[in-house]
Amino acid sequence: MVKASASKDWDGVLVGTSAMVGEVSKHAAALQSSTKAFLLPHHHSNFHARRHSKSSKEQVVIGLIGDDSDELTGPLTTCMSNLGAVNFTVKTLSQVPVEILNLLGPSVRGDFFATKLSSFDIGIVWTQKTVGPDMWERKPPQRLVNALSVGIPVVAYAGYAGHQDVAALGHKFMQLAASSDELCTVLV
């Protein structure tokens, strides 16, 4: 995809991460092309401004967002407990009920996820079950941007360039972690 984007016939290419900007620029130079790459930041799908309501819950709800959530629940819960954390629960998106009849367009799917995300006190945007050596540069930060859009602090996987791009802009509202052990210590 990146090599094809640096065509001699194209004036510009919109890409999803800053790492992709660098790759397109590198290939354009190799082809002696003047093709320019432009970063098009991701926009959230929270069109109805669903927000986290700060209630006086007894437990902090940590929400795991992503394909590998089920595999992270147990180790994260154990690690946090071992470090002395109390009064928390870890949930995945699939464990959050949503009243489907209350969802609104234009993106019902976006409203579905925004409604679920707003029930968390802290979001964890972690890895996905996609494989491939170039995934770090191409994985878009859509889940991360959506979690931030409901007003919750987020810890995101540092291995994706898109997450690093968002962190550069939203560093006050999120942190990056490179491993599940680091994730645990950031939360506690």
Question: In this predicted structure, what is the pLDDT of residue 134?
Answer: 65
Q: Into how many domains does the chain fold?
A: 2
Q: Is there a contact between 153 and 174 (Cβ–Cβ < 8 Å)?
A: yes
Helix (H) or strand (E) holding 92: strand 88-92
Q: Is there a contact between 92 and 69 (Cβ–Cβ < 8 Å)?
A: yes
84 and 20 in a single domain? The answer is no
Which residues lie across from 37 on neighbouring strands? Answer: 13
For residue 84, the enclosing domain spans 60-187
pTM of the model: 0.79
Question: In this predicted structure, what is the pLDDT of residue 1?
Answer: 45
Residue with more model confidence, 134 or 100: 100
The predicted-structure confidence for 36-68, as pLDDT tens digits, reads as follows: 888 777 677 777 778 888 766 678 899 998 766
30 and 72 in a single domain? The answer is no
CA distance 27 to 49: 40
Report the chain's terminal Cα–Cα distance, integer Å.
40
168 and 98 in a single domain? The answer is yes
The predicted-structure confidence for 143-184, as pLDDT tens digits, reads as follows: 898 899 999 999 999 988 889 888 988 777 899 999 888 988
The answer to whether residue 128 sits within a structural domain is yes
71 and 140 in a single domain? The answer is yes
81 and 147 in a single domain? The answer is yes
CATH number of the domain to which 114 belongs:
3.40.50.450
